[in-house]
Amino acid sequence: MNIYFCLLVLLPITIAQPVDYYDTGNNNIDIDILAANRDFMTITLNCLVDKGTCDPQMQLYKDNMKDSIDTLCTRCTDVHKHLWNRFLAIVPIDYTTQYSEFQKVYDPTGTKLDELKKVVKDY
């Protein structure tokens, strides 16, 4: 009986917790246009794998990158999920070498990015 009482008390508290979404500043970007700019993408991907410096906006994304992959985007907004969807559709094909480096840093086991791709595919 005590377990039912605990569930009745704790379940609403757990459900009512708001999601603490990532703060990535300005999310009003068109990743398709940016991905077409090879120089921009090279700088961006170098930033993400610690081979170059990051501008303040990209640093915000980088700061949340590992967690968003490890948690399969549980703290991502719909905009973040859209950006991930496009990133995972474009970068492995158009930036193969840089994507391999990205995988080594953020998904050394080779499982999380495939899972994340499934989670964000409809965004």
**In the chain, domain spans:** 20-120
Q: At what angle do helices 38-48 and 56-70 cross, to 10 degrees?
A: 60
What's the pLDDT at 28? 77
Query: For residues 52 and 107, is the Cβ–Cβ distance under 8 A?
Result: no
CA neighbours closer than 13 Å in the CB half-sphere of residue 51: 11
What's the pLDDT at 18? 72
What's the pLDDT at 3? 46
What's the pLDDT at 68? 95
| Multiple choice CATH, 20-120, 3.30.360.10, 1.10.2080.10, 3.40.640.10, 2.30.30.140 | 1.10.2080.10
* Rounded Cα distance, 68 and 35, in Å: 20
What's the pLDDT at 31? 87
What's the pLDDT at 16? 53
Q: How far is CA 50 from CA 35, 46, 55, 58, 69, in A?
A: 19, 6, 12, 12, 17
Convert the pLDDT of each residue in 12-65 to its tens digit.
Answer: 444 556 778 776 677 778 889 999 999 999 999 999 999 999 999 899 999 999
Convert the pLDDT of each residue in 66-108 to its tens digit.
Answer: 999 999 999 999 999 999 999 999 999 999 999 999 999 999 9
